[in-house]
């Protein structure tokens, strides 16, 4: 068997086109475009690259983008004050604090300072709590993208056994919550899980968010299972690989996300979804 490829680039393209249409319609209602502010402290090159990507993405779909760049030695109080100002600005719909912050700053404190209704990364504990209770919330972009890949490819989830490998607050845990909301029967695996292979072989859906190239191999996958690989690992040769051994698993799985070109491209498109939802729900309240 050769698995169906769940194409993240194609889906991201589709999601961006949808976002562009929705943003144009919303701008008529609001009298302005939905707007995102990214707060960055210092000039970490990877962060600056990501911020540029998000800026271009917003511009390409008609959303307003603003970049607040603070010096590397900015104190926590200055960061908090900027976030509080943005919280109070009616014309700001989404706030994203770019991580990692310089070592002297407290990332948890910065995230807690964001109005949870403008938390378009879905990282505020109120959003995590709402998600854990199965209530409407802003969901972190990466797992939201994973779910979108499953849904739009017609993968049935209700009543099926799903495993999520990884329990981080940003990927693994919310992915497990989303699968549970979709009525899958969910097992969360982590570094202390005994007999990972045996657990995964039971499952029709396997989602992996660990950060270890080749952790999941063909012998761990039930024939026909759907495999979602969130792993993003840069090899010594500069190539990007996932956590799943793609070459062997593609022969066993029913469907699989490639790396690159799977969950990664969809993640940024889901940020637009959160921005639109935030602008819409704030305008309605």
Q: How far apart are the C-alpha atoms of 202 and 121, rounded to whole Å?
A: 32
Which residue number, 20 or 193, has a Cβ lying nearer to ligand NDP?
Answer: 193
What residues contact 89, with CB distance under 8 A and at least 6 apart?
none
Min dist. Cβ of residue 164 to ligand NDP (A): 9
Interface stretch with ligand NDP, choices 26-34, 61-69, 123-131, 261-269 (CB under 6 A): 261-269
- Say if residues 101 and 41 touch (Cβ distance below 8 Å): yes
Q: Judged by CB under 6 A, which of 122, 174, 231, 254 binds ligand NDP?
A: 231
Site for ligand NDP in 181-200 (CB under 6 A): 189-193, 196
Q: How far apart are the C-alpha atoms of 201 and 213, rounded to whole Å?
A: 19
**Residue 166 engages ligand NDP in binding (rule: CB under 6 A):** yes
Interface stretch with ligand NDP, choices 63-71, 86-94, 204-212, 218-226 (CB under 6 A): 204-212
Q: How far apart are the C-alpha atoms of 23 and 277, rounded to whole Å?
A: 10
Q: How far apart are the C-alpha atoms of 124 and 59, rounded to whole Å?
A: 26
Tokens of 140: 């972190």
Torsion angle, alpha carbons of 129, 131, 135, 137, to 10: 100
Site map 121..160 versus ligand NDP, x via CB under 6 A: ---------------------x------------------
Q: How far apart are the C-alpha atoms of 180 and 171, rounded to whole Å?
A: 14
Q: How far apart are the C-alpha atoms of 41 and 24, rounded to whole Å?
A: 31
Q: How far apart are the C-alpha atoms of 257 and 4, rounded to whole Å?
A: 9
Q: How far apart are the C-alpha atoms of 90 and 229, rounded to whole Å?
A: 38
Q: Judged by CB under 6 A, which of 23, 147, 165, 252 binds ligand NDP?
A: 165
Site map 15..54 versus ligand NDP, x via CB under 6 A: ----------------------------------------
**Residue 97 engages ligand NDP in binding (rule: CB under 6 A):** no
Which residue number, 157 or 170, has a Cβ lying nearer to ligand NDP?
Answer: 170
In the complex, the residues that contact ligand NDP under the rule CB under 6 A are 142, 165-168, 170-172, 189-193, 196, 209-212, 215, 230-233, 263-264, 267
């Amino acid at each position: 068997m050769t698995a169906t490829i769940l194409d993240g680039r194609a889906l991201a393209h589709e999601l961006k086109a949808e976002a562009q249409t929705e943003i144009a319609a919303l701008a008529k209602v609001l009298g302005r475009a939905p707007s995102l502010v990214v707060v960055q402290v210092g000039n970490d090159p990877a962060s600056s690259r990501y911020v540029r990507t998000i800026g271009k993405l917003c511009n390409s779909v008609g959303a307003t983008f603003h970049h607040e760049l603070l010096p590397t030695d900015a104190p926590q109080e200055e960061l908090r004050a900027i976030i509080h100002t943005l919280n109070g600005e009616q014309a700001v719909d989404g706030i994203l604090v770019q991580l990692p912050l310089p070592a002297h700053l407290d990332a948890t404190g910065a995230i807690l300072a964001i109005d949870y209704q403008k938390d378009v990364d879905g990282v505020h504990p109120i959003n995590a709590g709402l998600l854990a209770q199965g209530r409407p919330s802003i969901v972190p972009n990466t797992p939201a993208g994973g779910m979108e890949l499953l849904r739009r490819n017609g993968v049935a989830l209700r009543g099926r056994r799903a495993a999520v490998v990884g329990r981080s607050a940003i990927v693994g845990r919310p992915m497990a919550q989303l699968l549970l909301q979709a009525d899958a029967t969910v097992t969360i695996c982590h570094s202390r899980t005994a007999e990972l292979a045996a657990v995964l072989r039971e499952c029709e859906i396997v989602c992996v968010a660990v950060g270890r190239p080749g952790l999941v191999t063909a012998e761990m996958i039930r024939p026909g299972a759907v495999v979602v690989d969130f792993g993003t690992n840069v090899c010594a040769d500069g190539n990007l690989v996932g956590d799943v051994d793609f070459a062997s698993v593609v022969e066993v799985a029913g469907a699989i996300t490639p790396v690159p070109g799977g969950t990664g491209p969809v993640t940024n498109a889901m940020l637009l979804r959160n921005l639109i939802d935030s602008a819409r729900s704030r305008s309605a309240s």
